[in-house]
Amino acid sequence: MSVDAETALAHEPPGHKDELRLWLRMLTCTTLIESEIRTRLRRDFDTTLPRFDLMAALDRAPAGLSLGEVSRHMMVSNGNVTGVAARLEAEGLVERRARPGDRRAQLLRLTPKGRREFARQSAAHEGWIAELLAGVTAVERGALFRLLGHAKISVRNALPPEPSA
Amino acid sequence: MSVDAETALAHEPPGHKDELRLWLRMLTCTTLIESEIRTRLRRDFDTTLPRFDLMAALDRAPAGLSLGEVSRHMMVSNGNVTGVAARLEAEGLVERRARPGDRRAQLLRLTPKGRREFARQSAAHEGWIAELLAGVTAVERGALFRLLGHAKISVRNALPPEPSA
DNA sequence: CTGGAATAGTTTAGGCTTCAAGGAATGAGG
DNA sequence: CCTCATTCCTTGAAGCCTAAACTATTCCAG
């Protein structure tokens, strides 16, 4: 898995391919990092990125989050969260509790075991990211962060408006 | 480099929040764009991103590509390509031919219908990307492209070496 | 020539993901 | 009260994705 679509495009006839090439390079970077992280999560912790992400969301919210809140946080569909949460619950890493005063909603929280487990995973994860980005200087990182901020705003502005927020 | 997660952690003082924030922002940008593209591909062409990507790879290789070559281009597993190619073949967009002189390999090629269809899709796709990134100036795009190039190299250097190429 | 390594693809099991349809609970107006 | 829209979540169908095991073929070294 070494060639990427981006380099292949470099010899296309000139045009407005500029944004496209930027997008493909962005995608390549993200895919490279993401699949390496998936591999290591599996190898070292026998877990997956979605599980890790869900636990990360809960770790930042000690009071718990509803499934819907998790879904918005992770930018995935709500039906998706149902399944991932069910598996984490089966492993004893997450627990559900009824939300007082609303019998529709449930609060998801890390169990003590889940909190311990996530602490180990997130420490390793942070190290992995630093390792993968070690070749980018602090100055470059700052510039990238800022420019990606602009890109994020650009995309959000071009997106269809959300049902409030 | 093959240190287990625990040991690696012991040697690495915390302080990599910086890289982590950059990574999360990169991931957010990519996810936003990618899910919008998926939505539009479905809405306007009743297709998916993997199908589109596979056809894009074939479009750049008029002589055809083996399944393995497609797999490397798309940076996905070979088993995956089997399935996506099968669906595209069932829709008459792609055809398989034996590769002369090697009975293991098969060449995948766009059919005329597939080529027409992809031309429509890729024109729209290019417009969508330009639209989403319209808020990023040409100068910023250039800087982003260059910096992401550095990031890509950094990641590749940190990755376990591949079985040649 | 022959045995073993490498290569090309497929299959299988398990998990992720979306969309769409639907059930249950809530809340607001009449 | 009712009723109806809304919210929260689950389910089901279909597709994407990986790792690992497997088949078939090719290549190579002896």
Q: Which helix (H) or strand (E) holds A93?
A: none
pLDDT at B164 over 50: no
pLDDT at A164: 41
Closest C-alpha to B50, from B93, B113, B98: B93
Nearest CA in chain B to A151: B136
* Mean of the per-residue pLDDT values of chain A: 89
Residue % of chain B over a pLDDT of 90: 81
CB within 8 Å of A32: residues ≥ 6 apart:
B75, B152, B155, B156, B159
Task: Provide the shortest C-alpha distance from residue B37 to chain A (in Å).
Answer: 11
Could you tell me if A143 and B125 are in contact, meaning their C-beta atoms sit under 8 angstroms apart? no
pLDDT at B3: 42
Residue A48 contacts strand D, CB under 7 A? no
Q: What is the mean pLDDT of residues B10-34?
A: 85
Phi, psi of A133 (to 5 degrees): -100, 15
pLDDT at B13: 54
Distance CA B50, CA B66 (A): 16
Q: Could you tell me the fold of the domain covering B36-122?
A: Arc Repressor Mutant, subunit A (1.10.10)
pLDDT at B30: 96
Could you tell me if A136 and B23 are in contact, meaning their C-beta atoms sit under 8 angstroms apart? no
Q: Kindly report the CATH class assigned to A15-158.
A: mainly alpha
Q: How confident is the model at residue A9 (pLDDT cuts 50, 70, 90)?
A: low
Q: Where are the alpha helices (DSSP H) in chain B?
A: 5-11, 17-45, 49-59, 67-74, 78-90, 112-132, 138-158
Distance CA B119, CA A18 (A): 18
Q: How confident is the model at residue B98 (pLDDT cuts 50, 70, 90)?
A: confident
Q: How far is the CA of A46 from the C1' of C3 (A)?
A: 38
pLDDT at B51: 97
More confident position, B3 or A106: A106
pLDDT at A15: 46
Could you tell me if A55 and A110 are in contact, meaning their C-beta atoms sit under 8 angstroms apart? yes
**Burial call B109-148: b when 16+ CB within 10 Å, e when fewer:** bbbeebeebbeebeeebbebbbebbebbeeebbebbbebb
Task: Provide the shortest C-alpha distance from residue A98 to chain B (in Å).
Answer: 31
More confident position, B141 or A9: B141
Count of CA atoms in the C-beta half-sphere (13 A) of B144: 28
Q: What is the mean pLDDT of residues B40-54?
A: 96
pLDDT at A65 over 60: yes
Q: What is the mean pLDDT of residues B44-61?
A: 96
Going by the DSSP 8-state scheme, the letter that residue A9 receives in this structure is G
Going by the DSSP 8-state scheme, the letter that residue B109 receives in this structure is E
Q: How far apart are the first and last CA of chain B?
A: 22
Nucleotides of D under 7 A from a protein CB: 7-13, 15-21, 24-27
pLDDT at B135: 94
Q: How confident is the model at residue A160 (pLDDT cuts 50, 70, 90)?
A: confident
Q: Which residues in chain A touch residue B131, judged by CB atoms under 8 angstroms apart?
A: 158
Residue A106 contacts strand D, CB under 7 A? yes
Distance CA A33, CA A133 (A): 9
pLDDT at A162: 61
* Mean of the per-residue pLDDT values of chain B: 89
- Substitution target in A12, A125, A147, A162 with the highest count of B β-carbons within 10 Å is A147
